[in-house]
């Protein structure tokens, strides 16, 4: 029996409930995938929820982002990672607190990369608590390899023809290349 297989059979570390991992995922990166994989072992079901941050203009549509998340989640086990069979990508409109309630989730998972994330995340956690005091936010430290990573950085590198291996899964890299060709085609 492989180490990964054994790990998948262990009971969740925290509880059998539903956790929710929200973000823009424009696009999903290996940093997000690291959090998804670790959080999925802590709960019965993990909803990876694409929400809307009004401050951000996205490169990918919600459908494209959902598609990339589905690809990455379903291929993770096949590529030697833990099976993510309890992980479900979804999209929501409106408030995260309302969506979490509708899904029966009591725990929001967020990744923290550096101290600079803290202030914003602290505010979000308190606002979500204000909106629904049964909601708890837990923070996971991003793997040190990905502390410098963000979706914006990935897009910037892709738009300028830089190397993306080690930052995003291969299928996301391919989508980025295609998207950029499309965008360039449209601007000619
Ligand atoms: N690895 C790599 N990157 C990471 C990361 C990790 N582990 N953790 C965070 N990031 C990056 C993301 O890629 C993102 O990068 P970007 O700014 O370049 O796009 C950045 O950190 C912020 O990510 P996140 O904290 O997930 O925020 P978000 O803006 O992507 O998503 C929502 C925020 C959608 C969850 C939030 O706006 C929301 O809940 N909206 C619904 C409305 C609501 O309820 N608002 C709150 C109450 S007012």
Q: What is the pLDDT of residues 56-87, one digit of tens each?
A: 999 999 999 999 999 999 998 887 888 899 99
> Is 96 part of any domain?
yes
Q: How far does the centroid of ligand 1 lie from the alpha carbon of residue 182, in Å? A: 26
> Is 73 part of any domain?
yes
pTM for the model stands at 0.92
Name the DSSP letter for residue 78: T
Q: How far does the centroid of ligand 1 lie from the alpha carbon of residue 54, in Å? A: 11
Task: Report the pLDDT value the prediction gives residue 3, as an integer from 0 to 100.
Answer: 44
> Is 160 part of any domain?
no
Which amino acid residue places its CA nearest to atom 11 of ligand 1? 150
Backbone angles phi, psi at 34, to 5 degrees: -60, -45
Q: How far does the centroid of ligand 1 lie from the alpha carbon of residue 52, in Å? A: 9
Query: Any idea what the CATH number is for the domain that residue 19 is in?
Result: 3.40.50.620
> Is 183 part of any domain?
no
* CA dist., res. 92 & res. 47, Å (int): 11
Backbone angles phi, psi at 2, to 5 degrees: -75, 160
Name the DSSP letter for residue 11: P
Count how many domains the chain has.
Answer: 1
> Is 110 part of any domain?
yes
Q: What is the pLDDT of residues 16-49, one digit of tens each?
A: 899 999 999 999 999 999 999 999 999 999 999 9
pLDDT at 102 over 70: yes
Which amino acid residue places its CA nearest to atom 12 of ligand 1? 150
Both tokens assigned to 46: 């993990």
């Amino acid at each position: 029996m492989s180490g990964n297989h054994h790990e998948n059979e262990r009971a969740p570390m925290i509880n059998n409930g539903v956790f929710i991992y929200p973000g823009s995922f424009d696009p999903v990166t290996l940093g997000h995938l690291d959090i998804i994989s670790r959080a999925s072992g802590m709960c019965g079901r993990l909803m990876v929820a694409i929400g809307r941050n009004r401050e951000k203009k996205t490169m990918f549509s919600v459908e494209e982002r959902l598609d990339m998340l589905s690809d990455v989640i379903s291929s993770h086990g096949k590529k030697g990672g833990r099976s993510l069979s309890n992980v479900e990508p979804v999209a929501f409109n409106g408030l995260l607190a309302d969506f979490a309630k509708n899904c029966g989730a009591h725990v929001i998972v967020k990744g923290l990369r550096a101290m600079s994330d803290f202030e914003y995340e602290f505010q979000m956690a308190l606002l979500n608590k204000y909106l629904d005091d049964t909601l708890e936010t837990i923070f996971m430290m991003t793997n040190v390899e990905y502390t410098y990573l963000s979706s914006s950085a990935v897009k910037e590198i892709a738009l300028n023809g830089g190397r993306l291996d080690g930052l995003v899964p291969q299928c996301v890299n391919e989508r980025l290349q295609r998207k950029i060709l499309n965008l360039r085609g449209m601007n000619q």
